[in-house]
Each structure stands twice: as C-alpha cells, then as structure tokens.
Chains A and B, each alone.
Chain A
C-alpha cells in the first residue's frame, strides 16, 4: 500500500520486524542488526498484552544475531544480555538460564556457574515462588556443572595415584563438589520429566562412591514411575547398570522386555535376542524369536548384518531341531504379505550381493527357509555365491534344499 496514514507506529514496527526476520532467515546478520536498531524503540511502548511482547522479541532476536554475527563476541553478548534481564521480572530467571547456556556453549564453564549462582540467589517476593520451576532448573544445571568439576577432580586423583600428599586437597574438593551436585541433581530428577543427562551424572557419582542401592533406586524410579514420560533411555540406563553389576538374567530380561515394547527396533534388541536364544527356557527362546523379527520390521535395520545373522541363526536352529516350527509360522503369518517385497526383492538381492556379501548370505538363509529355494532372493544370491565359489554358499544351498519341505509347512 502507498497510503502512509495506514502506517502508524505499530504498523511500522511490524514491518520492521518482517525485515529483521527475512534477513535472519537468509543469514544476513548485518542487515538484521541494522533493522533491529530501528526496531528497539518499540521498547519504549512495550506495554502491550500480547503473548510475545516487544522486550521478549528483542531478547530473542538480539541473542540470535549475536550468536551468529561474525563481529560478535562473548563480551558483546554479555553487554547485551544484562540490561535485558532487567526488562522483565517474570522472565528474569529464564534469561539468566539462557545466558548460562550461551556461556557453556562457548566453553566458559566458570562464568556460566557464576551466572547461575547469581540467579539462584535472586529473590523477588512472589515471583520467586511463581518461577520455582526455573529455580529448580538453575539448580539442576549448577548440579551438572558441579558434577563436571567433580569429574575433573576425580580424573586428577586417578592420574596421580601414588602422590597422596597433593591428593588430599583434591579429594576434599572432589567430595564437596559431589555433595553440592548430589543435592541438586537428586532434586531435579524427582520431578517428572526427561532428565537423561542429570540421571546419568548422578548415577555415575553414586557408583563411584559405591552407593549402588541409591543408584538402583534412582534408575528404577526413572524408568518405572508412571508419572514420568515414557523414555526408552531410562530403560537403557537401568539395563546397563544392572549388567555392570552382574545382575541376574531374569532382571536384565525384564528390563529389556519393556524396552522391546517401547522401541522394538532398538539396537539393544539384538543383544536381547542373543541372550534369549541361549536360554534354556522355552518361553524365553520364543520371545527371542519375536524380538528379532520385530527388529527387522523397521527400515533402519534392513541392512543390519548382525540382526540378520541372529535371525538366521535362530531360524536355522529351529529348523534343524524340527521342533517349534509353529513359532516361525506364527511370526511369519503377519509378515508374509510384505516382507518379501520389503526384504527379499530381486533388486535387493542384487544390491545386497554387490555391497555386502555377509548380509546377503544371512538374508539368503532366512529367505530360503521362509520362502523356499525357488524364491527370487535365495535363487539369485545362492547362484552368485556358488558361482563365485564361496564355500559357505554351497553349504547354504545344500541346507536349504534339504529343508525345503519346511517352507511348504510354514506357508500353508
């Protein structure tokens, strides 16, 4: 529009903001900075009730520009952010926290810690209570940084080894960091949420001091408390912990089973299958088959040789024992309509053979059993393999030929 009277203060600033946003999207930081200089006077009229007010816009845009601008520096950023903190009481802690992140991003651990510490000691009547989530976060990050410092001290201690004299102060420092970190980390992981990093650090420290019970309890809570959001990592951490401490197969399996329910394609499932295959208990072996089939339902695992070798091994074992063919039938039932195209097309046969002989070998075994010796995949790969005079393919061919009737039984 060419009509100037439509462009009052508010409209002009909106227009200015558009220019800033365009420049930022095109990574033209100088241009964005230029337009920002014209935008900032909107601050003097920032009494709006809009969800995102002018001061917040300036904070976020200014920060972004300063993060990317070639002539920017940490000093510039600090000079920018301090007055921003004073602009909004409601946002004070948030800005402090983000400032700390920025400093951490630039490797300034101590400065970040100072900032967080300052923010933690801030008191502003009611606001401190309203913003208690932010306070907790700040404390949590302080805990994390304390852990970092603890970790450094620990490494120094481990390196020195013999020189006990110097170690005393190092040790004392280390312990004090532990205490500080523990308090804060313990607090934050009480709140339902995703605290992977915090949990791992806390557990690391607990393990070091030998407090396995506390560690186990923490991990259990994190994985099993229904108030917490579903988090596959929680189960992974628990599993790894239990494994480290030589827990029984039973407990390991129960953890992994839940992981299988949440993320069937998780890489740990392959280990899970390996574990289950070895078991004497029929139920577990049955579960193993289910698990490994599930892994290969996912496109991400299509070329995972290990997964295929696990499946191949188990299928081979079942076929040779001639027991529990029903298991294969059950698993294959829901997959026979789409696995052939998904895994065993002629195109894939060619591709797998060219790129990865082992992969094609394992897959060919499975294909041969599930689809019979006349299926495209098996035919192609075994032909190529035998032609190339690779021993195992000849053995494979023999095996599949021998057990071809199995295919007939599964496929009816």
Chain B
C-alpha cells in the first residue's frame, strides 16, 4: 500500500500483491523481490465482527461447510484415481466410492443444517460479503480469514501436531465457517461422523472391501505412506475457488499418518452409519480369505510353501475361514470385526509356534536337528530355522534403517505456505523464504545427492528368488526335517505349545484382547511378531491380539476342560 517506488520496468506506480506476498506491477506484471511486511492493521484480528448479520452468518456457515464437503469430495476423487492407477477395478471410482459418498452426504446433510436437504443455498464467498471491513477485493481474496478469532498460531500448530488422530470432538469447529457450530455439534449425535482426512481412507477401504479387491487395509495404508495415494497436502490441488480459510486448514492439513486401528474402526462405524447391507461374501476363492493371504505372507516371509498346508489346517480347525465369520455385516455387534491381514499373519505365527514352539530354546535344537538330517539328505533341503532367522534378521535390520532414513527425510510442508491468519501472513512468508534459502544452501553443501526415491508401488515388499544361489530363499525347503511320521501322517516333532495368554481381556472395555510386553515373551516370538509388524506396518501388539484369539479358538476344548476341572 505504501510502496511508492517506480516500477523498474515501466516506471509506473501501480502495485499489487502476488500470492507469495511480493509486490508486482499491475501495468507490466514485473514482480519484485520485496516482500510486504506491512501488517494488515485494518482487520480487527482478534475480535469477532459483531456487525455481520445473522442471515449472512448462516449462509456463511453452510457455504463454508459446503466448501469443506467439496474439498473432501475432491480428495476422495483423487484417491480413487490413484487406486485405479494401482490396478484396482475402475468401478471403484464412479460407482462404489461415489455411491458411498453420496449416501454419506445424504445422511449427514440432514444432520448438518436446519433446513431440509435439497434446498440450495448460495455459497457466499468472503469476497462478496459487503460487511467486510476492508473493501479492497484484491486484498480480500488473499487474506481470507475474517471474523473468527484465529487464536494463537502457536496453539493451532501445536494442537495439530500433538494429536495424531484429528478427532472431531476436539477440533474447535466454532472457529471454522460455522459460527455457532460448536453449540450445534454438541447437540448433534451424528457429530462422530464429521468428515476427517483419516476418514477418507476409511471410505477407500470400505470400497475396496465391498469390491473384494486384492488390497488389504495394511497395503492401502502402506501405499499412502509411500505417497502413491494422495493424503498429505492434498489440498495443494484444490482449485482457486476452494481457497482454504484460516482454521479450515486444520481439517485438510494433517501432520501425522493415520493408524490402522483408527481407519479400521472408523470404517465400521461408517458402514453402520450408512445403513449398508451385508457386504459381498468373502469366500475361500477371495483374496482376503486367510488361505490366500497366508500364501502371500508365507512367500513374503520367505517361509517354506509346505507351511501352507498347516495354515489351512489351523484355519479350518478354528473356523475362521467360514463365510459368515469373514463377511462384514454392518451393525452386527456380536461378531468380531475381522482384520483380514492381521488374521492371516497371526495364523502363520500360530503355525510357527506349533512347529517350533518358539521358547528361545527348542526351536534352535530343532534347527540343529534338521541341519544334521540335512547332511545325509539327497532330496531338497530341509528347512533350518537358524538359517532363515539369520537371513530375515539381516533383512529386517536393513529395512529398519531404510525406513528410518526415509522418515528422517520426510518433508511435511508443501510449497504453498498456509496462513492461519492474516496477521501472521507476512511472518509465515518470511519464514518460508528463510527455510527455502536454507534448504538451497545446505542442499548445495550436501554434494551430489539423489532425491529420496519413491519406491515403486508393489504388493510385495520382500522378494525372494529361488534362483539365488546363496541359498537365501526358503520357499522350496521342506519341513520334513522337523516332522515325524506317526500312523502314516506327518506330525510336528514338537509336542508342546504355550498359550500367549490364559484369559482373554474384554476388548470393548480395554481395547485389546491381551497386553503385549516385549520383555514378557520369548525373543523368537517377538522376532516373528516384528517380522509381520514390518510387513503390515502395524504394532506387534495387534498381531499378538489376533494370535491370542486364534489360540483360544484352537485350544477351546482344552481350555473348557480346564475350567470344568477348576469348577470341580
């Protein structure tokens, strides 16, 4: 405003402000380096503007909420496109996901506002509002936040970063477009279904499940972490008209990855909320069936193919392969919700325990035994746990290092800086400039550095090839080394088994079926959990829960006998 220098190019004094806060000449579009740091003192930044009339406020409220909806719609669209690119059936975008979304909008529109759904409301953008204090349209389109108290930049930022789950009840919606939203939210029982970024992934997963696609939730999340599915900074792609206002940014700008549990639980809530019918059957020819997933995970874990027989036997014995067990029926509170990937991993863990006991002692003895047998063995090699352990341990350590480096190099901020408030805009811009300069300076000093490679999207994280002559692939190895013949059947030499827990907790009360502490269990068991923790990118305790559940099904009779004995 106070910039009165003549333009270097055309000598005019006709300045405007670019998005980046630099002055540019309106006559010849020459951009200067000068960054404006004139704070906009025209705005009463911390006081609510009382003069805004009620009707305008209401319109603003729905207008802004409509924008948020549009935003999420765009996010979902982008995610669906990404899924298509990853090989998911194209129907997911225009049919399945879209229908779910529409259903959601219908269900929530009625809860959102006082007027019945269907009445169109003119979305008043801030620019048109005549009650604005400063009527410079140019200025308005940049300084978009208006009447609400933005609050401290400090609390905003620290808030977002400290909560990994952006839970609706703690989001201060009174600061977003809806002025009296906070009161409204408290009355509204459907508040839990407020749209959030993690919830977009719940939508995606729900669609994938509906279509029985060959992508588990853990895979979906992994693709998100690896950047193949848009999640972080998606709002960069929002068109101009969907400019993010102040506190609305928090809704779209997340600074943490969602957890498996979060997305999983939300998906089920969503399915119930939308009154969806029974999902398509998960049969034994389905990818999500434990028999199929076990096969996949056995391959990835570099375990012998022969183990698949054992996993199928466990699946059968525990009845977890039944259609009714596996298929999702929204709203059915009696059945336990199935985590297909975790379940399959847990089955493999149980099989390993059956075969090797995994008490930090027996498995090594058994391995030595197999090694002995291998010496006189003319057929294919017998599986030796020791060798397998060495290979996998090495691999896991390498992967851990890679992951840590990738995390350390992760860039959370995007090029488009966000402003939470008009007051802080210049400060934010200045900081961004400093950050960019520092990045450039130290980037030059890094020497020739390749940018962090984005791993190619792949269903398999670990590959083992039988062509490797170093013997590091165990797929073809035989389990005969640790089996014995009894009555014509091959059974495990290991006669014992230890239960992870004698009694299962009440999941609804304490959130888990059992409590996993690394120090409480054998190292081998922990190692196996860690392996699948890597493949699925979840905490070992989740796998442990499923293992407990399977064990209790498997040894149900014995456990009942014990209880009976006790009662006597």
Report whether chain A binds chain B. Answer: yes
A→B interface (CB under 8 Å): 1-12, 15-16, 18-19, 29-31, 33-38, 40-41, 43-45, 47-48, 58, 62, 65-66, 69, 71-72, 76, 79-80, 83, 86-87
Contact of B410 with A37 in the complex, beta carbons under 8 Å = no
B438 CB–A CB distance under 8 Å: yes
Contact across chains for B438 and A37 when beta carbons are under 8 A apart: yes
Since A5-B256, A44-B413 are in contact, a sample of 7 more A-B pairs with Cβ atoms closer than 8 Å, ordered by chain A residue number, is A2-B538, A3-B259, A3-B538, A5-B164, A9-B255, A38-B411, A40-B438
- Contacting chain A: which of B306-314, B327-335, B427-435, B558-566? B427-435
Partner of A38, one of B157, B256, B257, B409: B409
Complex contacts, B153 vs chain A, CB 8 Å: 47
Nearest to A84 among chain B residues (CB) is B434
- Contact in complex: A5, B257 (CB < 8 Å): yes
Top 8 nearest A-B pairs (CB, nearest first) are: A8-B256, A5-B259, A34-B446, A16-B408, A47-B154, A9-B255, A33-B445, A2-B534
Q: Which residue of A lies closest to B431 (CB)?
A: A44
Kindly state the separation between the CA atoms of A3 and B404 in the bound complex, as whole angstroms: 11
- Report which of A1, A10, A11, A40 forms a contact with B442, defined as CB distance below 8 A: A40
**Other-chain residue from A2, A35, A43, A48 in contact with B409 (beta carbon distance below 8 A):** A35
Q: Please report the C-alpha to C-alpha distance between residue A15 and residue B404 in the assembled complex, in whole angstroms.
A: 7
Within 8 Å CB of B442, what residues of A?
33-34, 36-37, 40, 62, 65
Do A8 and B408 touch (CB < 8 A)?
A: no
B412 x A12 contact (CB < 8 A): yes
Q: A2-B537, A44-B432, A71-B445 are in contact. Are A35 and B403 (CB under 8 A)?
A: no
> In the bound complex, do residue A7 and residue B158 qualify as a contact, i.e. CB atoms below 8 Å apart?
no
Q: Which residue of B lies closest to A11 (CB)?
A: B407
Chain A residue at smallest Cβ distance from B400: A2
Whether the Cβ atoms of B445 and A69 lie closer than 8 Å is yes
Inter-subunit contact A2/B259 (CB<8 Å): no
Determine the chain B residues whose CB is within 8 A of the CB of A12 once the complex forms: 407-408, 410, 412
What are 15 sample pairs from A and B whose C-beta atoms fall under 8 A apart? A5-B256, A5-B257, A5-B259, A8-B257, A9-B412, A10-B161, A12-B412, A15-B407, A29-B445, A34-B447, A41-B439, A43-B438, A44-B431, A47-B154, A87-B434
Residues 400-444 of B, flagged 1 when their CB comes within 8 A of A and 0 if not, give 100111011111110001000000000010111011011101111
Is A72 in contact with B445, judged by CB distance below 8 angstroms?
yes
Q: Which residues of B contact A (CB under 8 A)?
A: 153-154, 157-158, 161-162, 164, 221, 225, 255-260, 262, 400, 403-405, 407-413, 417, 428, 430-432, 434-435, 437-439, 441-447, 449, 530, 533-534, 537-539
Question: In the assembly, what is the distance between CA of A48 and CA of B412, in Å?
Answer: 17
- Chain A residues lying within 8 Å of B430, measured Cβ to Cβ, are 86
Across the interface, do A48 and B158 meet the contact criterion of CB distance under 8 Å?
yes
Measured between beta carbons, the chain B residues less than 8 angstroms from A3 are: 259, 533, 537-539
> Which residue in A2, A7, A33 is a CB contact (below 8 Å) of B257?
A7
| Contact (A4, B221) CB under 8 Å given A9-B256, A35-B409, A69-B445 | yes
Residue contact B431 to A43, C-beta cutoff 8 Å: yes
**What is the minimal beta-carbon distance from B438 to any residue of chain A, in angstroms?**
4
- A392 CB to closest chain B CB, in angstroms? 65
Q: B260: which A residues are within 8 A, CB to CB?
A: 5
- Min Cβ gap A407→B in Å is 68
Residue of chain A at shortest CB distance from B152: A47
Please name the residue on chain B nearest to A69 by beta carbon: B445
The residue of chain B having its C-beta at the shortest distance from the C-beta of A66 within the complex is B445
Of chain B, the residue at the smallest CB distance from A3 is: B539
Cβ B225 vs Cβ A4 within 8 A:
yes
Within 8 Å CB of B262, what residues of A? 5
Residues of chain B within 8 A of A45, CB atoms compared: 157, 161
Nearest Cβ on chain A to B171's Cβ, whole angstroms: 17
Complex Cα gap A71–B412 (Å): 29
Report A-chain residues with C-beta under 8 Å of the C-beta of B404: 15, 19
When C-beta atoms are compared, the residue in chain A nearest to B440 turns out to be A37
Asked whether A30 and B538 contact (CB < 8 A) given A4-B221, A5-B164, A45-B157, the answer is: no
Q: Is the CB of A15 within 8 A of B255?
A: no
Bound complex: CA of A83 vs CA of B158, how far in Å?
24
A69 to B446, CA, bound (A): 10
B-chain residues with CB within 8 Å of residue A38 when the two chains form the complex:
408-411
Give A38 to B400 CA distance when docked, in angstroms. Answer: 19
Q: How far is the CB of A395 from chain B (nearest CB, A)?
A: 70
Q: Report chain B residues within 8 Å CB of A48.
A: 158
Contact status of A9 and B408, CB under 8 A, knowing A2-B403, A33-B446, A47-B154: no
Residue in A9, A35, A47 with the greatest tally of chain B CB atoms within 10 Å: A9
Q: Chain A residues near B410: list those with CB within 8 A.
A: 7, 12, 38
- Residue on A nearest B403 in the bound complex, by CB: A2
A2 to B428 alpha-carbon distance, docked (Å): 34
**Bound CA–CA A18/B408 (angstroms):** 9
CA distance A80 to B438 in the complex (A): 7
> Using Cβ atoms and an 8 Å threshold, which residues of chain A touch B449?
34
User: Would you call B437 and A37 a contact (CB within 8 A)?
Assistant: no
Interface centre among A2, A35, A87 (most CB of B within 10 A): A2
Q: Is the CB of A37 within 8 A of B412?
A: no
What is the minimal beta-carbon distance from A168 to any residue of chain B, in angstroms? 47
B255 x A16 contact (CB < 8 A):
no
